[in-house]
Amino acid sequence: MNQILVTEKLYITPELKKKKKAYKFSFFLSIFAMVVLSCAYIYAEYDRNRLEDSSQDLLAKVLAGDIKENVENDTTIAPKDNALVILMTQEQIVEENISQNEALQDDEKNAITTGKVSDSKGNEYSVVGVVNIPKINCKYPILAETTDELLKVSVCKFWGANPNEVGNLCIVGHNYKNSKFFSKVPTLVVGDIVEITDLSGKTLKYQAYDIYTVEPSDTRCTSQLTQGKKEVTLITCTDDTKQRVIVKCTEVIE
């Protein structure tokens, strides 16, 4: 027995001791990294839930008509940041605006009505309406502009016409791969219904007629050439964030 113990002890060389220490260090480093990543994930989920609550506060106030009206003298609102899609070139913007304005009535050209709404913490946001997609239980206020920060709060108007006006209202939202914001939009199919409520309280139904994916640089879905029709385009990321899911919808004429 003593001989066996001595023999085993002889095999624990300085090199093995170094490897053992290195293994322990790597093990504890891995544990530390896992803890840090877990904390980051938990905080991200907490932040998303907090902003989701803020979004629902805004939604309740918009639906209740608890808004301060704000009229702006511009027919388009360009996003300040581009979180999901690259902006059209200036030449495209000019061409699209000319075509859209020709399709609008005189009383629709010169004014955009947005509403100022505050959440329970007193943060004020500009909204243009509400989007509701019954199939995926998705109902959010549409913020009037698109920035990285605003996209964390709700879905946003990216480009185009205002709710229920002639043209193409483009709405962007995050895909968090859960049930929040536009996460379930990629599951929509042709024929599904999207409801848009403007600040006057009028709700119109739009039906999906085309669904496809594009590269982030492809902005053709934002075109305002709708031949005088009212359209809505939903834009979000694919689950791997490498492409964009586009859902094209047109007004249901009843």
pLDDT digits (tens, 9 = 90+) for 162-175: 999 999 999 999 99
Q: Distance between CA 212 and CA 247 in Å, rounded?
A: 7
Residue 247 neighbours by CB distance under 10 Å:
26
Reply yes or no on whether the pLDDT at 251 is more than 70. yes
- Tell me the Ramachandran region of residue 78: left when phi exceeds 0, alpha when psi lies from -120 to 50, beta otherwise: beta
| Structural domain count, the chain | 1
In a domain, 19, yes or no: no
Given a contact cutoff of 8 angstroms between Cβ atoms, the answer to whether 210 and 181 are in contact is no
Which CA distances in Å does 225 have to 1, 40, 87? 91, 44, 17
In a domain, 1, yes or no: no
In a domain, 110, yes or no: yes
In a domain, 228, yes or no: yes
Reply yes or no on whether the pLDDT at 50 is more than 70. no
Given a contact cutoff of 8 angstroms between Cβ atoms, the answer to whether 245 and 171 are in contact is no
Q: Distance between CA 210 and CA 187 in Å, rounded?
A: 13
Given a contact cutoff of 8 angstroms between Cβ atoms, the answer to whether 120 and 54 are in contact is yes
Please name the residue that has the structure tokens 């119109």: 204
Q: Tell me the pairing of strands 138-143 and 155-159.
A: parallel
- Its domain, for residue 148, covers 35-251
In a domain, 186, yes or no: yes
Work out the average pLDDT over 97-123.
61
Q: Which of 140, 137, 105, 129 is CA-nearest to residue 204?
A: 129
Interacting residues of 234 by C-beta distance below 8 A, sequence separation 6+? 131, 171, 173, 182, 185, 188, 194, 245, 246, 247, 249
pLDDT, residue 203, reads 95
Ranges 18-27, 89-98, 136-145, 185-194: which has the least confidence: 89-98
In a domain, 2, yes or no: no
- CATH number at 152 reads 2.40.260.10
In a domain, 145, yes or no: yes
